[in-house]
């Protein structure tokens, strides 16, 4: 295997977006991810996922998702971690990320008791978190949520259904978005903490995707939860929930960069080794131009992602414009890069078991989850019309 594929450290990590601590973090995560591949394979998928979370906790990487009380959220570190993990294995990234998405509302709006009960175990990797938002008929339209939470003596009763919920079936707790009815649409939603063993909560068999990812559907049938399960205020659920996406959207783009870089490495390996029409593929002008397109996509995506992370960390700008732009540009770029890698690899690129074929399947969902590309375009467009875009 060539140095381009085995050596993750690339020039952009040394750019002024980062501090020395970020360089060291990138090296540490790379070393962990490469070492994790050599561990014995666990047959049960749920156990495998939990083992990854436990290992991330033992390596102390989950502290970047669940920082100390009052510590700032370092989006540059989050993006570097996701890029490095996805370069090696998309499942590593998925298990890392859900620990943050499934706890950020607790960090931002939880009571001291909620924080003490849930956050330490999630930070150590002992407990697995999940976020139950998507519904069978809702898709990207969060305001169309139909799962209800009815206030009763001593608590709430949940009824409804969720689908495509990452970690469903083996998570220890779920952040559940439900309609409490304070106002129409998104203003009538609330967020609840629901333990996995709560009566009335049931998970389906795992959903099979085009790429390996743990998820299932969930149903709530007269699922009774205590009054202190509410996170924040009733009716403020949209704000509570969307705060997680504003933080994590740039990091989706970072995952796309990591995946695209791995595809580029495989394409270069092919171009350097494969002979075609009496010469190395890499000597053909068409191949060289295709590789240049891939490189320009990767650099553009990376710069957009780390601009968004830097704007958040250094300027303190948490407006959605840069976050949505990063997710949009990088996820779309990853799709194009991997598609070109498949084309350069020919039949091998569409053969099951080939790494490029695996990357192709892993790249496609990035344009859908945590807000489809069309949603990102709407947010960006609205900010442009309103004059809220900052450089």
CA distance 391 to 386: 15
Look up residue 381 and give its two tokens.
């467009």
CA distance 340 to 349: 10
Q: Are strands 129-132 and 173-179 parallel, antiparallel or unpaired?
A: parallel
**Helix-, strand-, coil-residue percentages of the chain, each rounded to 5:** 60, 15, 30
Note the pLDDT of residue 342. Answer: 96
Look up residue 277 and give its two tokens.
């029409």
Note the pLDDT of residue 12. Answer: 67
CA distance 23 to 25: 5
**Tens digits of residue pLDDT in 209-237:** 999 999 999 999 999 999 999 999 999 99
**Tens digits of residue pLDDT in 245-261:** 778 999 999 999 999 99
From residue 1, give the alpha-carbon distance in Å to each of 4, 40, 266, 341: 8, 22, 9, 16
User: Out of 36, 135, 332, 370, which one is annotated catalytic?
Assistant: 370
Note the pLDDT of residue 389. Answer: 67
Note the pLDDT of residue 391. Answer: 58
Note the pLDDT of residue 230. Answer: 97
Is 3 labeled as catalytic in the residue annotation? no
Q: Please give the chain's pLDDT, 391 residues, in tens.
A: 333 334 555 666 778 899 999 999 999 999 999 998 766 678 899 999 999 999 999 999 999 999 998 888 999 999 999 999 999 999 999 999 999 999 999 999 999 999 999 999 999 999 999 999 999 987 778 888 999 999 999 999 999 999 999 999 999 999 999 999 988 888 899 999 999 999 999 999 999 999 999 999 999 999 999 999 999 999 999 888 877 777 899 999 999 999 999 999 999 999 999 888 888 889 899 999 999 999 999 999 999 999 999 999 999 987 889 999 999 999 999 999 999 999 999 999 999 999 999 999 999 999 998 889 999 999 999 999 998 766 5
Note the pLDDT of residue 9. Answer: 56
Q: Are 325 and 317 in contact (CB under 8 A)?
A: no
């Amino acid at each position: 295997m060539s140095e381009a594929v085995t050596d993750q450290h690339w020039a952009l990590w040394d750019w002024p977006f980062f501090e020395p601590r970020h360089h060291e973090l990138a090296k540490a995560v790379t070393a962990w991810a490469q070492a994790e591949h050599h561990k014995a394979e666990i047959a049960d998928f749920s156990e495998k996922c939990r083992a990854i979370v436990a290992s991330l906790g033992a390596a102390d990487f989950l502290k970047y998702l669940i920082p100390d009380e009052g510590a700032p959220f370092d989006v540059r570190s989050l993006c570097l971690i996701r890029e490095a993990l996805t370069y090696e294995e998309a499942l590593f990234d998925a298990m890392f990320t859900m620990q943050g998405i499934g706890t950020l509302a607790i960090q931002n709006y939880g009571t001291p008791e909620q924080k003490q009960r849930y956050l330490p175990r999630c930070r150590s990797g002992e407990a697995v978190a999940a976020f139950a938002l998507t519904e069978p008929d809702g898709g990207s339209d969060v305001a169309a949520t139909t799962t209800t939470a009815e206030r009763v003596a001593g608590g709430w009763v949940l009824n409804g259904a969720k689908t495509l919920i990452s970690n469903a079936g083996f998570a220890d707790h779920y952040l559940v978005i439900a309609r409490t009815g304070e106002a129409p649409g998104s203003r009538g939603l609330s967020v609840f903490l629901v333990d996995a063993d709560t009566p009335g909560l049931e998970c389906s068999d795992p959903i099979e995707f085009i790429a390996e990812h743990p998820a299932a559907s969930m149903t709530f049938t007269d699922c009774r939860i205590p009054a202190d399960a509410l996170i924040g205020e009733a009716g403020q659920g949209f704000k509570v929930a969307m705060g997680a996406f504003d933080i994590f959207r740039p990091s989706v783009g970072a995952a796309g960069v990591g995946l695209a870089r791995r595809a580029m490495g495989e394409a270069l390996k092919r171009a350097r080794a494969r002979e075609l029409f009496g010469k190395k593929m890499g000597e053909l002008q068409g191949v060289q131009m295709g590789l240049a397109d891939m490189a320009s996509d990767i650099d553009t995506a990376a710069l957009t992602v780390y601009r968004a992370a830097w704007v958040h960390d250094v300027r303190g700008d948490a407006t959605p414009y840069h976050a949505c732009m990063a997710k949009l540009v990088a996820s779309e770029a990853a799709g194009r890069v991997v598609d070109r890698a498949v084309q350069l690899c020919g039949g091998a690129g569409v053969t099951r078991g080939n790494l490029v074929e695996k990357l192709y399947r892993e790249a496609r969902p990035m344009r859908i989850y945590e807000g489809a590309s069309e949603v990102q375009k709407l947010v960006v467009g609205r900010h442009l019309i309103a004059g809220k875009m900052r450089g």
